[in-house]
Amino acid sequence: MKIAQSAISAFKGRMLFDVPMKDYTSFRIGGNADVMAFPVNEDDLIEVMRFAAGKGFPVFVIGRGTNLLIRDNGIRGVVINVSEGFKETIWLEDDAAVAGSGVLLIELASLCKDKGLSGLEFAAGIPGTIGGAVFMNAGAYGKEMKDVVERVEAVDMNGQKHSFDNAAMKFSYRGCALPANMIITKAHLKFKKDNPDEIKKRMKELKEKRRATQAINLPNAGSIFRNPVEANGRSPLPSAGKLIEEAGLKGTKCGDAQISEVHGNYIVNLGNATAMDVLALVAMARDKVFKAQGILLETEITVVGED
């Protein structure tokens, strides 16, 4: 696929060609993308979206590349990387803000702590951007992004702007009902006032808990599987990590991929793991847990690209 820079001369951001996706994902795995565009603002995003739509090029959006596995033959079309733009946070009131989709979740959580605003304590230690966190309804320890999101602004494949309130997003466990052709550009967030020292204490406790159970220093994509829930939406069932551990799979390797020795729901890259290595471990974990417990694990990570 040939895409000439001159074809979208109004584009102000960077544009790279034949890009190794392993350099842009937390897993450090993945083949090359045909094109990667780094829009600096909404006008830039609209420019590249309209261009891609007009040419019939597929589009995929990333932020920091967490919760993501790129297959070994890479991605065709245009990868839009919002990590170099959309970084502004505007504080509207004492307890409300509009955050660009490229704002780091962990940095916004720290700002909220300093301002005495509660709601993002769970995000302490979670990598990724606001856009990705909203899209997947990121959460931990009983709290989720849906609890602080009032509204999002987005752009569709034809460059048209849209707005979706919390109800329209229809948040669910690790997901939402935002149409697949939408790219989040801004999130309108509402927090609760609290004592900064209390917020700091809660964040410290959650960080320590995360370090104690998820002290993983090797490249990974975060939790591989969703925690299973019963038909009523509650989750008294064992966690995915516990189920994988009980299946005796912690430490299991395939090539240079390994089910973490620290946490059963993490797969780590020991150095030169391929997507096929990771997917083999995913299949093995699902099969063994289902045979042992009758529970079919669902993946939480996004898997894209060509084998």
**Active-site residue, selected from the candidate residues 118, 223, 226, 260:** 223
On whether the CB atoms of residues 206 and 125 are closer than 8 A, the answer is yes
Q: Could you tell me where the beta strands, DSSP code E, fall in 127-182?
A: 139-140, 143-144, 149-155, 161-165
On whether the CB atoms of residues 192 and 118 are closer than 8 A, the answer is yes
Q: Is 174 a catalytic residue?
A: yes
Q: What are the residue ranges of helices labelled H in the chain?
A: 42-55, 105-115, 130-135, 166-169, 196-214, 240-246, 275-293
In this structure, what token pair is assigned to residue 195? 């004592």
Q: What letter does residue 158 receive in the DSSP assignment?
A: T
d(CA 195, CA 202): 11
Q: How many residues does the chain have?
A: 307
The alpha carbon torsion through 21, 157, 63, 118 (nearest 10 deg) reads -160
Q: Is 153 a catalytic residue?
A: no
**Active-site residue, selected from the candidate residues 50, 174, 202, 210:** 174
**Active-site residue, selected from the candidate residues 42, 121, 144, 300:** 300
d(CA 212, CA 74): 35
Cα-atom radius of gyration of the chain, to the nearest Å?
A: 20
Q: Is 210 a catalytic residue?
A: no
Pairing of strands 32-38, 75-81: parallel
d(CA 292, CA 247): 7
Cite the active site residues: 174, 223, 300
